[in-house]
Amino acid sequence: MDLQTLILKLSEFWASKGCLLEQPYDIEMGAGTMHPATFLRVLGPEPWACAYVQPSRRPADGRYGANPFRLGKYFQYQVVVKPSPDNIQDVFVESLTAIGIDPKEHDLRFEEDNWESPTLGAWGVGWQVLLDGMEITQFTYFQQAGGIDLAPVTAEITYGLERLAMFLANEKSVFDITWAPGVTYGEARHQDEVEASTYHFQTADASLHQLLFERFEAEAARCLAAGLVLPAFDFTLKCSHAFNVLDARGAISATDRVGVIKRVRELACRCAEAYVASREALGYPLLPKGTEAGPEAEAPHG
Amino acid sequence: MAEFLLEILAEEIPAGVLPQAREELLKRVGEAFEEARIGGTLSVHSTSRRLILVGHDIAERQPDLEAESVGPSVAAAYGEDGAPTKAAEGFARGQGVAVTDLYVVTLPKGAYVAAKRTIPGRPAPEVIAELLPPIVTKMTFPRMMRWGDGKPLWVRPVHSVLALFDGMVVPFALFGVETGRTTFGHRTLSPGRIIVVGANDYFTKLRAANVEPDWSQRRWTLAEGAVRLAQEVGGEPTKDDALLDTLAHLVEAPGMVRGSFDEGYLELPEEILVTSMREHQKVLPVRRNGKLAPFFLAVADQIGDPRGLIVRGNEWVLNARFADARFFWDEDGKLRLEDRLSRLGSLGFQERLGDYLRKTGRIQELSERLAARLGRADLGPSVVKAARLLKTDLVTDMVREFADLQGVVGGLYARREGEPEEVWQALYDQYKPASADDTSPRGDVGAVVALADRLDTLTGLFGLGLVPTGSKDPYALRRAALGVVRIVLDRKWHMDVPVACSDALLLHGPLPRSRDEVVPELTAFLLERLRFVLSQRGFPQDTIQSVLTTDCHDFADAADRVEAVDAVRKKEDFVPIAIAFKRVANILSQAEETTAEPDPALMAEDAEQALAGDFLQAKGMLDELILGRNYVDALAIMASLGPSLDRFFTEVMVLTEDPAVRANRVALLKAMRDQFYRVARFSEIQG
C-alpha cells in the first residue's frame, strides 16, 4: 500500500465513523496536537470528532536526508474524538483492518506511554501501540491542555504515516516508500530534507529568529488583549516554531531553554483560557441542541 | 461456604503497576471481608487487561451479631416505686426491645440499664455489593486518568465487571459499568463475549479464549519458549528475570518468537546492542558461549506466527534501531571527545551551580587534590585526563538517544580514540555503583574521578540548601552519597571525609550556606549511608552503632573497626568486658570531668594498683595495634583487661569521700574509656 492510499483509507475509515475531515494547518508546527482542531477543540464541553494529516516540522531531527529513519519533517495522521467513546480502542483496531492489517495475524500491544508537552502545558495518559514490535501509533487520553483540566476527555490517536508505510511495504529506508504509483517518497521529499537540514543547522540567521520570536510573542499578547483568540494562537504557534529553529541552530543554551519554553507555555495557557471563555460567550455552538454544558454526549460514531 | 469471583476488564493496565495493584486489591478485600465477618480464602490474578479476584470458603451470610447498648442510669430509669420511667421506656423503644427486657450493668461510673439485641447477619452478596465499589474506585496508582465525560478516575478505562457469588451476579457498578456474568476473550484472537457460571468455568473458558489468567504461568511459558528457541540456533537466552517479569505482564497470550539481525551489527559494542534490545525493544539477546549471537527473542501477545509476520516486524524494527546506533557511532566518531569539551558550556548542570564545563573544571581540580590527599600524586596526569573527558559524552548523539548509556558511551569512545585503559575505564565506570548490587569503578583513576564528581554534586546542592527530604530526592543525592561510601570502602581508602567535603565545597565559590553548616550536615548524611551499607553487609545494628558513635572521619577505618568488633563480640571473654565497660561509662557519667592523668601515688587499694598496672602495660601495645589498624588484636588486649576491671569494681569504691582519691580513680577509668573509644563504644553493644 502506498502512502497516499494509506492516507485515503484512513480518511475514509474515520469519516465513516463520524469524524469531520479537517485539513492540515497552514502554520509550521512540531506535531498534529498543536493544530487548533486538537489543541483548542479538546477544551470545554463541546463534542468534537475530526481527522487530518498534519505535516510536522522538527528541525532538530533533520539528518540531511542521510538517515533512512529520521526526518526533519514528516506526516502525522491525527484523530481526535471527544468525549472519548467506550469503544475507541476497538474502533482503532478496526482501523488497522481498514489499512490491510489483520490483527489476528500480528502481535498488537498497548504499552504504557504517557505524553507531555511542556510548551503547551498539556499532558495525557495512554500507550504507544506496537504492531509486531513497531510503534505505529500514539494513543492518548488528554488530561490537561493549556494548564486546564479536561472534562469531557478527548481520545487522541496519532499514526506515524511514514513508519506505517515503511512497515506495510517492508522498506528499509523511508525514502524508498512509494508515495503514489511511480513516485517515491525520496523523489518527492529528499531535496526538502537536505535543504531544510542545511538551513536549520548551518544557514538560519539566529538573530532573525530571535527577533521573530520576540515579535510573535508580543503580537500574540496584543491579539489576546484585543480578544482575538485564534490569531493569538497562530502567533503562539509561530513562536514555538521560531524556538524550534533556534534550538536546531544551537542558539539556545540549556539554561535558556527552560525559560523560553515557559514563555511559549504561558501564551498557550492564556490562549486556552481565552478560547474557553470565547466558546462560552458564543453559547457552545457545537453542543447538541437542548443540552447543557457537560453533556452525557453520545459517541459521534459506532 | 461459597465462592466469589471478580474480574475487572480494563484497557491495558501499565505493566509496572500490576504487581502493586494486585497486592492492594487482595489486602483490602481480605480485610474488608474479615471485618464484615464473611472471611474466605482469597487469591488474585492479572493480565494486561484484567484484575481478577477469587475467593473460596466465604460465609453465605454474616453470622448474627449480639449487641449491647447502655442506656440511662438506674436512678433515671426507675422511679421510687421501681416502675420504669419515660427515659427507660424511650430507650427500650429505641433499641426495639420490651422495657421488661432491660437489665442492669455496673460500669465504673455507676449502675446503668442496658439492652441486648440481635443484629441479624445479612446475605454475603449484599455485603459484598456494598464493600467492593469503594475499595476498587479508591485504589491508588502512580498516575491516574479520567476518561469519557471526565468523571471516572482510575488507572485506565474499565469496560466490564464480572462479579459472581456462587454463580449469581452480585449487583453493583464500577465507574458506571454494571456487574454481570460475562467477560471477553483475547482482544484480537477471540474477542467474543463469554458467559461465566463460576471460577473454574471462568478459568477454563478464558484459557479456551487465548487468555492465560495466571501471571506465573505466562512467565513460565515465555521463559521455556525462550530457552527452546535459543537452543534451536545453538544458543541460550540472556538471563534477565526483570525483563521476563515485565513481559509476562504485557500479554494475555504468552508467545515468543525468534528473530535475527544483520551479523555486521555485532561489530558495534555489545553494551549498545544490548541496551537497544533490552531497554528500547524489550527483547532478549541470544548468546553463544557467552557472546552475543545475531538473534533475539521477542514476546508476542499471540499463539503463533505461521506467516512469519511478527518475526519480520520485530526484525525490521531492531535492524532500524541498530542502523540508527551505527549512524550515531560513526557520526560521533567524527569529533573527538576533547573537542566536545567547549560544548559542555551550553549544557546546564544546575541553575546556580553553572554548566557542565564549570563542573568539569571543579571535578578536575578536586580529583587532583583527592589523589594528593590519598598519597597518590602518581595518578595525577591520568586523573586530569579522565576528569576533562568525563562529561563529554553528554553532548554526543549516542547519549541523546541512549540516555541510560551515559558514561559507558564516553568510555567506549575514549577507548576508540586510543586513551589508556585507566582513562577510558574511568569514563565508562563513572556512574558505578548504580545500585546496591553493582560494583564500584574498576581502577583507582576511575574511583578518584567518580568520587570527585559525586562530592562536587553533594556539596553544591547542600550548599544551596537543596537537601533531600522524605521521599523527595530530585538530584538523587542519596545515591550519590551511597556511591561515595561504597567507593571509599571498596578501595579501603583512608581519607578524612569531612576534609574531602570541605575541599569540594570550596571549589564552588560563594554559596548561600557556609562551610560550618554544610560540612557537618553532609558528613552526617554520608554517615547514614555508611550505616546503611554496613547493615546491608550483615553487621548487627548495635555493632555498627558502637563504632559510628566514635570519631569516624575515616570511613574505611570505621568499617575495619565494625568488622573487628563483629568478629570478637561472639567470643566468651568479650561479654564480661562489654558489661564491665557499661559500668565504666555509667560511673563516668555520674562523676565530674577530669583532665588529670591517673597518679600511682594516690592508689591505695591492691585492685586499683593491679588495674592501673595492667592498663599501663596494655596501653603501649594498644597504641601500636590501633596505629597499625589491627583491631582484632587490640580488642583481644582490651578483653584481657576484663578480670582486673571486674576485681576493681568488686573491691574498690570509685566515688569515695576523699576528693583526691576519687578524682584519681575517675581519671584511671577515663583514660581507659578514651583508649577504648578509639575502637568502639562497647556500652552500645546489647547483651
* CATH number assigned to the domain comprising residue B344: 1.10.3210
Q: Which of residues 247-266 of B touch A (CB under 8 A)?
A: 250-251, 255
Residue B64 has pLDDT above 50, yes or no: yes
Cell numbers given for A199: 538551513
Contact status, residue A163 vs residue A135, Cβ threshold 8 Å = yes
Last residue of a domain, one of A181, A200, A219: A200
Closest residue in chain B to residue A149, using alpha carbons only? B150
Q: Report chain A's mean pLDDT, rounded to a whole number.
A: 93
Q: Which of A125, A127, A294 sits opposite B143 (nearest CB)?
A: A125
Same domain, B25 and B165: yes
Same domain, B111 and B134: no
SS3 label, residue B284: strand
Locate the chain B residue with the closest alpha carbon to A89. B11
Please check whether residue B400 touches A, CB under 8 A.
no
For residue B269, pLDDT over 80 is answered with yes
Is residue B216 situated within a structural domain? no
From chain A, pick out residues whose CB is under 8 angstroms from the CB of B312.
Answer: 132, 170
Distance in angstroms (rounded) separating the CA atoms of residues B48 and B33: 26
Pairing state between β B158-165 and B168-169? antiparallel
Could you tell me if B368 and B234 are in contact, meaning their C-beta atoms sit under 8 angstroms apart?
Answer: no
- Among the ranges given (A54-68, B151-165, B219-233, B591-605), the one the predictor scored with the smallest mean pLDDT: B591-605
Mark which residues 314-373 of B lie under 8 Å from A by CB.
Answer: 314, 316-320, 323-324, 327, 346-348, 351, 355
Residue A25 shares a structural domain with residue A153: yes
Contact A143 B281 (CB under 8 A): no
Contacts of B351 in chain A (CB under 8 A): 255
Lookup: cell for B450 = 567518580
Longest dimension (CA), chain A: 57
Residue among B307, B314, B355 whose CB faces A105 most closely: B307
Over 50: is that where the pLDDT of B540 sits?
yes
Chain A residues within an 8 Å CB radius of B318: 133
pLDDT at A297 over 80: no
Q: Are residue B430 and residue B294 in the same domain, yes or no?
A: no
Residue A38 and residue A170 share a domain: yes
The pLDDT-based confidence of B545 (bands split at 50, 70, 90) is: very high
Instruction: Count the Cβ atoms, other than its own, within 10 Å of residue B423.
Output: 28
A75-79, A234-238, B525-529, B633-637: the lowest-pLDDT one = B633-637
Whether A292 and chain B come into contact, CB under 8 Å, resolves to no
Average pLDDT over residues A30-36: 96
Cα A55 to Cα A20, A61, A161, A209, B590: the distances in Å are 18, 14, 10, 21, 83
User: CB B148 to CB A294 under 8 A?
Assistant: no
**Would you say B289 and B366 are in contact if contact means Cβ atoms under 8 Å apart?**
no
User: Residue B349 pLDDT > 80, yes or no?
Assistant: yes
- Same structural domain for residues B466 and B484? yes
**How many Å apart are CA A76 and CA A53, to the nearest integer?**
6
Q: How many domains in chain B? A: 5
pLDDT band with cut points at 50, 70 and 90 for residue A26? very high
Interface test with A, best of B9, B17, B147 (most A CBs within 10 A): B147
User: Looking at the structure, do residues B308 and B267 belong to the same domain, yes or no?
Assistant: yes
- Residue A240 distance to chain B (closest CA, Å): 21
Nearest CA in chain B to A129: B12
B155/B280 same-domain check: no
Give the pLDDT score at A302: 35
More confident residue, A94 or B570: A94
Interface of B with A in 150-169 (CB under 8 A): 150-151, 156-157, 159
Sequence letter at residue A86: D
Question: Domain span at residue A161?
Answer: 3-200
More confident residue, A98 or A167: A98
Question: Does the interface predicted TM-score (ipTM) exceed 0.90?
Answer: yes
Q: What is the torsional sign of CA B145, B149, B150, B154?
A: negative
In a domain, B553, yes or no: no
- State the pLDDT at residue B657: 82
| A209 and A161 belong to one structural domain | no
Q: What is the pLDDT of residues B105-126, one digit of tens each?
A: 998 888 999 999 888 899 999 9
Q: Are B258 and B312 in contact (CB under 8 A)?
A: no
CA distance A109 to chain B (A): 7
Q: What is the 3-state secondary structure (H, E, C) of B222-261?
A: HHHHHHHHHHHCCCEECCCHHHHHHHHHHCCCEEEEEEEC
Is residue A298 predicted with pLDDT exceeding 50? no
Give the list of residues 6+ apart from residue A126 with CB closer than 8 angstroms, or none: A112, A113, A114, A115, A138, A139, A140, A141, A156
Domain assignment present for residue A290? The answer is no
On the CB side of B124, CA atoms within 13 Å amount to: 27
Comparing A261-275, B342-356, B585-599, B627-641, the range with the smallest average pLDDT is: B585-599
Query: To the nearest whole angstrom, how far is the Cα of A297 from the nearest Cα of chain B?
Result: 8
**CA B226 to mean position of chain CA atoms:** 30
Strand partners, B183: B194
Which residue does chain B place closest to A93, by CA atoms?
A: B188
Quote the crossing angle between the two packed helices A206-225 and A229-248, to the nearest 10°.
160
Do strands B193-195 and B182-184 pair parallel, antiparallel, or not at all (unpaired)?
A: antiparallel
Lookup result for grid cell 576533562? B388
Count CA atoms within 13 Å of residue B59 on its CB side: 17
The tally of domains found in chain A comes to 2
- Distance, in Å, from the CA atom of B313 to the CA atom of A2, rounded to the nearest integer, reads 18
Which residues in chain A (172-211) have CB-CB distances under 8 A to chain B?
Answer: 172
* Chain B residue with Cα closest to A156: B147
Mean pLDDT of B352-375: 93
In a domain, B281, yes or no: yes
Q: Is residue A295 part of a domain?
A: no
Taking contacts as CB-CB distances below 8 angstroms, the residues of chain B near A127 are 12
Q: Which of B505, B537, B569 is the last residue of a domain?
A: B537
Mutation site, B144, B146, B324, B394, interface A, largest A CB count within 10 A: B146
Q: Is B111 on the interface with A (CB under 8 A)?
A: no
Of residues B272, B277, B281, the one with CA closest to residue B396? B272
Looking at the fold, whether B193 and B81 belong to one and the same domain comes out as: no
CB contact under 8 A, B150 and A170: no
B189 and A104 within 8 Å at the Cβ level: the answer is yes
In a domain, A299, yes or no: no
Q: Which amino acid is at A188?
A: A
Q: Are residues B263 and B192 in the same domain?
A: no
Q: Which of A77-91, B1-15, B463-477, B516-530 has the lowest mean pLDDT?
A: B463-477
* pLDDT confidence of residue A299: 45
Q: What pLDDT does residue A295 have?
A: 42
Residue A194 lies in a domain: yes
CA separation for the pair A67, A64 (Å, rounded): 8
pLDDT score of A158 more than 90: yes
Is some CB atom of chain B closer than 8 A to the CB atom of A294? yes
**Which residue in A84, A132, A253 is closest to B148 by CB distance?**
A84
- If pLDDT is split at 50, 70 and 90, which confidence band does B375 have? very high
Both A188 and A75 in a single domain?
Answer: yes
B295: three-class secondary structure by DSSP = strand
Q: Which residues of A touch B255 (CB under 8 A)?
A: 107
Question: B225 in a domain, yes or no?
Answer: no
Mutate to test the interface with A, among B12, B158, B359 (most CBs of A within 10 A): B12
Give kind and range of the element (H or E) at residue B87.
helix B86-95
Domain edge (last residue) among A200, A220, A252: A200
User: Beta strand A48-57 with B173-174: parallel, antiparallel or unpaired?
Assistant: unpaired
Task: Say how many CB pairs under 8 Å bridge A and B.
Answer: 130
Mean pLDDT of B416-444: 94
Domain boundary pick from B53, B85, B119? B119
- What's the whole-number mean pLDDT along residues A62-80? 92
- The distance of B673 to chain A (nearest Cα, Å) reads 55
Residues 140-159 of A with CB under 8 A from B: 141, 143, 150-153, 155
- Give the tens place of pLDDT for each residue, A208-233: 999 999 999 999 999 999 999 999 99
CA distances from B80 to B46, B92, B105, B187 (A): 69, 19, 19, 79
Domain span at residue B188 reads: 2-61+123-208
On whether both A87 and A173 belong to a single domain, the answer is yes
- For chain B, how are helix, strand and coil distributed in percent, rounded to 5? 55, 15, 30
B112 and B133: one domain?
A: no
Residues A180 and A213 in one domain: no
Residue A292 lies in a domain: no
Phi-psi region at B175: left, alpha or beta (left = phi > 0; alpha = psi -120 to 50):
left
CATH number of the structural domain spanning residue A232: 1.20.58.180
pLDDT band at B522 (very low <50, low <70, confident <90, very high): very high
Q: What angle do CA A78, A81, A86 make, to 5 degrees?
A: 125
pLDDT, tens digit, 9 for 90 and up, residues B208-261: 999 999 999 999 999 999 999 999 999 999 999 999 999 999 999 999 999 999
> What phi-psi label fits residue B407: left (phi over 0), alpha (psi between -120 and 50 degrees) or beta?
left
CA distances, B373 to each of A30, B481, B496, B557 (Å) = 53, 20, 9, 16
User: From CA B280, how far away is CA B268, in angstroms rounded?
Assistant: 16
- The answer, yes or no, to whether residue B658 has pLDDT greater than 90, is no
Round to whole Å and give the CA distance between A267 and A236: 6
CB B145 within 8 A of CB B137: no
Distance CA B24, CA B20 (A): 6
Inter-chain residue contact A83 with B149, CB threshold 8 Å? yes
Cα separation, B573 vs B640, in Å, equals 8
Rounded alpha-carbon distances, angstroms, from residue B362 to B336, B380, B390, B452: 22, 15, 12, 8
Please tell me whether residues A34 and A157 are part of one structural domain.
Answer: yes
The highest-confidence range among B40-54, B94-108, B670-684, by mean pLDDT, is: B40-54
CB contact at 8 A, B171 and B129: yes
- Using an 8 Å Cβ cutoff, are B498 and B519 in contact? yes
Confidence of residue A296 (pLDDT cuts 50, 70, 90): very low
End position of a domain, from candidates A168, A200, A232 = A200
User: Are A74 and A106 part of one and the same domain?
Assistant: yes
Contact indicator for A131, B300 with CB cutoff of 8 Å: no
Q: What is the pLDDT of residue A254?
A: 60
Minimum mean pLDDT among B176-180, B219-223, B459-463, B605-609: which range? B605-609
Residue that wins the pLDDT comparison between B47 and B349: B47
Enumerate residues 187 to 206 of chain B having a beta carbon within 8 A of any beta carbon in chain A: 187-189
Q: Identify whether residues B167 and B102 lie together within a single domain.
A: no
State residue B641's pLDDT score.
86
Contacts of B188 (CB under 8 A, 6+ apart): A93, A103, A104, A106, A108, B301
Q: What is the pLDDT of residue B318?
A: 92
Chain A residues touching residue B222 (CB < 8 angstroms) = none
The verdict on A64 and A213 lying in the same domain is no
Residue that is last in its domain, among B308, B332, B356 = B332
In angstroms, the CA B254 to CA B247 distance is 9
CATH of the domain at B662: 1.10.730
Is the Cβ–Cβ distance between B258 and B316 less than 8 Å? no
CB-CB neighbors (< 8 A) of A249 in chain B:
none
Q: For the domain that residue A61 is a member of, what is the CATH number? A: 3.30.930.10
Given a cut of 80, is residue B196 above it in pLDDT? Answer: yes
* Interface touch B313/A296, C-beta < 8 Å: no
Is the Cβ pair B149, A294 closer than 8 Å?
yes
* Mean pLDDT in residue range B630-657: 86
Categorize the per-residue pLDDT at B472 as very low, low, confident or very high, splitting at 50, 70 and 90. confident
B314-338 core/surface letters (b: 16 or more CB in 10 A; e: else): bbbbbbbbbbbbbbbbeebeeeebe
Judge if pTM exceeds 0.95: no
Q: How much is the pLDDT for A255?
A: 59
A residues 209-268 lying closer than 8 A (beta carbon) to B: 250, 253-255
A165 in the same domain as A29: yes
* Residue carrying C-alpha cell 569503578: B441
- The predicted structure's pLDDT at residue A294: 45
Pick among A109, A131, A253 to test the B interface (most B CBs inside 10 A): A109
Which residue in B143, B313, B351 is closest to A114 by CB distance? B143
Confidence tier at A253 by pLDDT (50, 70, 90): low
CB-CB contact of A106 with B313 (8 Å): yes
Q: Which among A63, A254, A296 has CB closest to B149?
A: A296
3-state secondary structure of B685: coil
Q: Are B504 and B393 contained in the same domain?
A: yes
pLDDT of residue B327: 84
Residue B230 in domain: no
List pLDDT tens digits, range B165-174.
Answer: 999 999 999 9
Distance CA A278, CA A43 (A): 11
Look at residue B456 and tell me whether its pLDDT is greater than 70: yes
A139 close contact with B: CB closer than 8 A: no
Do B665 and B623 sit in the same domain of this protein?
yes
CA distance readout (Å), A222 to A94, A225, A259, B333: 46, 5, 21, 48
Report the percent of chain B where pLDDT is more than 90: 68
- Does residue B136 contact residue B8 with C-beta atoms inside 8 Å? yes
Residue B437 within any structural domain of the chain: yes
Domain membership flag for residue B172: yes
- If asked whether residues A146 and A263 sit together in one domain, one would say no
Residues composing chain B: 687
Average pLDDT, chain B: 92
- Helix (H) or strand (E) segment spanning residue B287: strand B284-288
At A68, the pLDDT band (50, 70, 90 cuts) reads confident
The arithmetic mean of pLDDT across residues A12-31, rounded, is 97
Closest CA to A117 of A57, A214, A233, A31: A31
Does some domain include residue B226?
A: no
Calculate Rg over the CA atoms of chain A. Answer: 20
